[in-house]
Structure 1
Amino acid sequence: VRTQVASQTWSGEGSPEALRVVLVWTRLPPRPYVFIVQKSYQDSETGPESSVITKVKGITFSEHKVWDVEEYVKPPEGGSVFSIITRIEVTPSQTLGTCPESMRVSDATCGSDEDCVAGQLDMLGNGLRTGRCVPYYQGSAKTCEVSGWCPVEDGASVSQFLGKMAPNFTILIKNSIQYPKFQFSKGNIEHRKDGYLKHCTFDEVSDLYCPIFKLGFIVEQAGENFTELAHTGGVIGVIINWDCDLDLSASKCNPKYSFRRLDPKHVPASSGYNFRFAKYYKTNGSTTRTLIKAYGIRIDVIVHGQAGKFSLIPTIINLATALTSIGVGSFLCDWILLTFMNKNKVYSHKKFDKIVDPPEQTAGPELCPPEPSRQDSTLTDPRGLARL
């Protein structure tokens, strides 16, 4: 509520005292709108209890092999957060040994053994330095030798693109929610026995309860270019909103889906998404691994919403607030006090001031000027100095 006060002083000619007018007005909030449209007569609950299960299907290929779900989805548990690999950089046949350090590591380049300190360990490097300066994998440059998994990633990595068929991958997002306060629960899959989920895909109008989305559709709805996103990686949020008016039937409580990119693509240091993992195996009794740096599209399924249902307590509170804000409350109180109370005349006397008009002055010369009253002299001479 914002209250504004404006005051103005006016003094008429010959008037004994000044007249001060104070105007006060208040801009009231739209209480009827809050009560009816925003449903303040309801008890509400925000943040539903939710569970999410996901499943990805599809096959793709790269320059060297065919990829299935077990290889390009990480982690494979089917939770609310998962990644679909779209490009990899592979460093094959790494074994424990000694090799040149990557040139990307600070102070890795050298001219002689004196530039390399034996036993030094760089936390951003690939191993423990041996103290030797050795030729790099290609070219004439030299770097300090390290003991670790060799060759290092930058020395022998090969890039493979998996995103050719990735837009056609299908993602099943099974979601169920519950509002414990109202003992209400619902899921986003239609209960049918005709194999409905085997041949449907999501459509907001015709197939709202078929939560099977194509990966290309999700990226498109998020406003992104699929090829660019597949090369650099990124994070896409699938937001499921359950806003339910439980005064209506359960069929009116429906999920609403939205899609947006969550990583800041215009900030180079924070955009994109990649991670590393390795596959280990034995070769001639020695441990060998294949190091994979994976770029992909990470999907975060986020569920939120709120539910409301009629309740007597918030109805009474907000109804009384609405009536008070528009002046009905004060009107009812005055009417009761002035009509039914025993001392209604006392209250009326305190509430309303009677105004008596001064006598009109006749025209003509004034023979005997009126003697100033004691009250007027008191107002003009409050300390009584004139009597001295």
Structure 2
Amino acid sequence: MKNQITNALSDFFFEYETPRQVLVRNRRVGVVCRLIQLGVLAYIIGWVFIYEKGYQSTDTAVSSVFSKIKGVGYTNVNGTERVWDVADYVFPSQGDSSFVIMTNYIITEGQKMGKCAELPGKHNCSSDADCEGGSFKRTGHGEMTGVCVKANKTCEVVAWCPVEDDHNIPDPPLLVSAEDFTLFIKNSVTFPLFGVTRSNLVEGIDAAYISKCLYDPEEAPLCPIFRLGDIVKMSGFNFETIAKMGGAIGIVVDWTCNLDLDLKHCKPKYNFHGLYGNPSETDKVRASVGYNFRYAKHYLEDKIAKRTLFKVFGIRIDIIVQSLARKFDIIPTLTAIGSGVGIFGVATVVCDLVLLYLLPKREFYKNMKFKYTDTHEQVRSTRLMPDMFCNISVNTGWEQRAV
């Protein structure tokens, strides 16, 4: 028993098993095998290593964006002159990555809380029975009192009076001068995995350069100051059309960096996308057009609370940071090589299928590839048969000699 265990351990530790290989001389099978291996090699080198950069590890950035608008607008509505600065036409005012620049508006001044008639088309009526007191209508401006105002043929409501009339949108836009407003974007990114921090104010972008530069995709692709009219144009919109009804534009700051190169080559690229508005002049048939919202400025007049209501049409700007950094790493490199070597086995599988099932000499190749062993019963029968034949021969010979 001890010797058996010792022999088993000795065989396990000091013997090496290798698979048996059969060399097949067949031109068609050989060409198929080499073509498959060539395709696998092209996939590993071209796709995995060159295109997908399978030898590098990747990381996305933690990002921060600061924005600032500059420019002054002027309007003259019904003889009322007004100058609009950043505090008036940018919402919100703290320089976030998402904000709205007002380009058109409707003002309803001197509103105070009271009872007044609704706009025509909101709560039409012919008698008080048509106005249910205490109820609201989704598109209305307040709570119905149950009275039908015969002069207007609309229901009376408790609301901020006079109610807003937003049927007539100014055309051309009142703040068409917003086309010359400028946007300054300050962006910093950090790739935690690699410990790298970059800013869009890269090498050569100093205070002197910023004071005179304006973004141009060809002449000044790294300038962080953008003209609003250029942003709209590069997004595929017409400025006057989008300024009238409002819309949304996405500015993508793309940080795609290969950190195996010098860090100065890690620079941002700016892309502009029209999200919604009037890019193809087809928005007239849509149910909801443009972008707008309302806000109010409250004040006291003779101890009576009043407000000025603004319906703002504007261009919403969303600054989106997109990032991907790559750097050489031995672990993904070995993983890519190992998976590539494993894929080479596809050639062997395909060629075996051709040899064993498609070629005319498939039975011959099967006999060369596989070695068949007998079962226990077959071996036992084979061992017994010679003895039986021997005994018969002997007995026969004996009987002959006896006779």
Q: Same fold (TM over 0.5)?
A: yes
Deviates more, 1:50-59 or 1:119-128: 119-128
| In structure 2, distance between residues paired with 1:313 and 1:97 | 73
User: What CA RMSD, in Å, does the superposition of the two structures yield over aligned residues?
Assistant: 2.9
SS at match of 1:103: coil
Q: Does 1:168 pair with 2:186?
A: no
> What code does the residue aligned with 1:213 have?
F
| In structure 2, distance between residues paired with 1:253 and 1:284 | 62
The answer (yes or no) to whether the contact 1:130–1:146 under 8 Å persists in 2 is yes
1:195 Cα deviation after fit: 2.6
| In structure 2, distance between residues paired with 1:351 and 1:75 | 80
Structure 1 residues 156 and 207, CA, compared in 2 at 3 Å: closer, same or farther?
Answer: closer
The answer (yes or no) to whether the contact 1:100–1:135 under 8 Å persists in 2 is no
Query: For residues 163-218 of structure 1, what are the alpha-carbon distances to aligned partners after superposition, in whole Å with 9 as ceiling and x for unaligned?
Result: 33111100001111111011111010146655322221123344333200000010
1:270 Cα deviation after fit: 4.2
Instruction: Give 1:321's aligned residue.
Output: 339
How do residues 77-226 of structure 1 correspond to structure 2 at under 5 angstroms?
77-105=94-122, 108-135=123-150, 141-154=152-165, 159=170, 161-190=173-202, 195-226=208-239
1:263 Cα deviation after fit: 1.8
| Percentage of matched positions with identical amino acids | 41
Structure 1 residues 100 and 157, CA, compared in 2 at 3 Å: closer, same or farther?
Answer: farther
The answer (yes or no) to whether the contact 1:102–1:155 under 8 Å persists in 2 is no
TM-score (norm 1): 0.73
| In structure 2, distance between residues paired with 1:351 and 1:321 | 30
| In structure 2, distance between residues paired with 1:194 and 1:49 | 25
Structure 1 residues 329 and 113, CA, compared in 2 at 3 Å: closer, same or farther?
Answer: closer
> What code does the residue aligned with 2:59 have?
E
How do residues 332-371 of structure 1 correspond to structure 2 at under 5 angstroms?
352=369
1:74 Cα deviation after fit: 0.8
TM-score (norm 2): 0.70
SS at match of 2:193: helix
1:305 Cα deviation after fit: 1.9
The answer (yes or no) to whether the contact 2:246–2:277 under 8 Å persists in 1 is no
The answer (yes or no) to whether the contact 1:323–1:329 under 8 Å persists in 2 is no
Structure 1 residues 104 and 52, CA, compared in 2 at 3 Å: closer, same or farther?
Answer: farther
| In structure 2, distance between residues paired with 1:295 and 1:310 | 49
Instruction: Give 2:262's aligned residue.
Output: 249
Q: Does 1:35 pair with 2:80?
A: no
1:157 Cα deviation after fit: 7.9
Structure 1 residues 123 and 271, CA, compared in 2 at 3 Å: closer, same or farther?
Answer: closer
Query: For residues 212-243 of structure 1, what are the alpha-carbon distances to aligned partners after superposition, in whole Å with 9 as ceiling and x for unaligned?
Result: 00000100101111000100100000011110
The answer (yes or no) to whether the contact 2:242–2:277 under 8 Å persists in 1 is no
| In structure 2, distance between residues paired with 1:116 and 1:329 | 82
The answer (yes or no) to whether the contact 1:263–1:270 under 8 Å persists in 2 is no
Flag the structure with higher strand content.
1
Instruction: Give 2:84's aligned residue.
Output: 67
Unmatched tracts of structure 2, length 5 or more: 1-28, 350-365, 372-403
| In structure 2, distance between residues paired with 1:59 and 1:258 | 26
| In structure 2, distance between residues paired with 1:328 and 1:159 | 69
Instruction: Give 1:293's aligned residue.
Output: 311
Deviates more, 1:95-104 or 1:291-300: 95-104
Deviates more, 1:200-209 or 1:167-176: 200-209
Structure 1 residues 288 and 157, CA, compared in 2 at 3 Å: closer, same or farther?
Answer: farther
Flag the structure with higher helix content.
2
1:269 Cα deviation after fit: 2.8
Structure 1 residues 295 and 329, CA, compared in 2 at 3 Å: closer, same or farther?
Answer: same
Instruction: Give 2:253's aligned residue.
Output: 240
Structure 1 residues 351 and 271, CA, compared in 2 at 3 Å: closer, same or farther?
Answer: farther
| In structure 2, distance between residues paired with 1:194 and 1:259 | 25
Query: For residues 96-131 of structure 1, what are the alpha-carbon distances to aligned partners after superposition, in whole Å with 9 as ceiling and x for unaligned?
Result: 1110112343xx101111211221222432111111
> What code does the residue aligned with 1:281 have?
Y
The answer (yes or no) to whether the contact 1:230–1:295 under 8 Å persists in 2 is yes
Instruction: Give 1:284's aligned residue.
Output: 302
1:158 Cα deviation after fit: 8.1
1:289 Cα deviation after fit: 0.5
Matched residue pairs, number?
309
